[in-house]
Structure 1
């Protein structure tokens, strides 16, 4: 059995790319399986915990950059309140978070009770249930 060190990995990657193709979004392969990347069968193989952690870290880095750019008050908030906004942006997208105009105005005014009330007065709160209530409570307490 050949060891990794005995195989030209780059040559193999080049060949797999040529024959499998590259898709940055999921697609259905010729065998009817949900696939992504260069032939990654998501239905049968899925993702490893390391891969999930890698993707999550990339997503978190992205959401922090977006929220800190689009939400003026973000940098002045406590760690807990920053995490709440990041959690919401992760769930809603930054565009969705930016639609919480009354909540954001309340944050800018330092009125965390009103910000929490505005969080709960939304379709998002109805959709996520307990999550919204827990985040709103943390918003009020700041911890």
Structure 2
């Protein structure tokens, strides 16, 4: 079997979609005809998505916090976790947090994290854990 020809034919027949859509049978579908309703994702596919998303979130954190690479691993992880959850645009709105990180004022950075709609309404205990890690430099 010529897999390259088969892949090309399936891509032509099914189309390649980068965002979920409903197929003609009403099933949630993505990629090249992947039926998410019935088939879902395998653990390895989920892991691949996570790894790709962490690469993107790390790049966002690096763009927003120019001293990112000078921070310890735990604080880098906190910022990547926030970038993963919030996305670039929303994390960019944390101007006081960014100033506190620039000043290496980690207790102040933790306060700014908690003094946000994100902490109060969006993620609850996650914000507490991340703020504690930012404050202390100790992984939760």
Shorter-normalised TM-score: what interval? over 0.9
Match of 1:28 among 22, 40, 64: 22
**Uncovered stretches (5+) of structure 1, i.e. residues with no partner:** 1-6
TM-score for the superposition, normalised by structure 2:
0.94
Match of 2:127 in 1: 132
TM-score for the superposition, normalised by structure 1:
0.92
> In the alignment, is the contact (CA less than 8 A) between 1:80 and 1:139 conserved in 2?
yes
Instruction: Give how far 1:66 is off.
Output: 2.3
Q: How many pairs does the alignment contain?
A: 137
CA RMSD, Structure 1 to Structure 2 (Å): 1.0
Instruction: Give how far 1:134 is off.
Output: 0.6
How many Å separate the matches in 2 of 1:19 and 1:121? 51
> In the alignment, is the contact (CA less than 8 A) between 1:71 and 1:98 conserved in 2?
no
- Partner-residue secondary structure (3-state), 1:69: helix
Q: Please say if 1:118 is aligned against 2:112.
A: yes
Match of 1:70 in 2: 64
How many Å separate the matches in 1 of 2:2 and 2:30? 23
Q: Please say if 1:81 is aligned against 2:75.
A: yes
Which structure has the greater CA radius of gyration? 1
Match of 1:96 in 2: 90
Match of 1:3 in 2: none
How many Å separate the matches in 1 of 2:17 and 2:74? 37
Instruction: Give how far 1:14 is off.
Output: 1.5
**Uncovered stretches (5+) of structure 2, i.e. residues with no partner:** none
Q: Which runs of 4+ in 1 moved over 3 A?
A: none
Instruction: Give how far 1:130 is off.
Output: 0.2
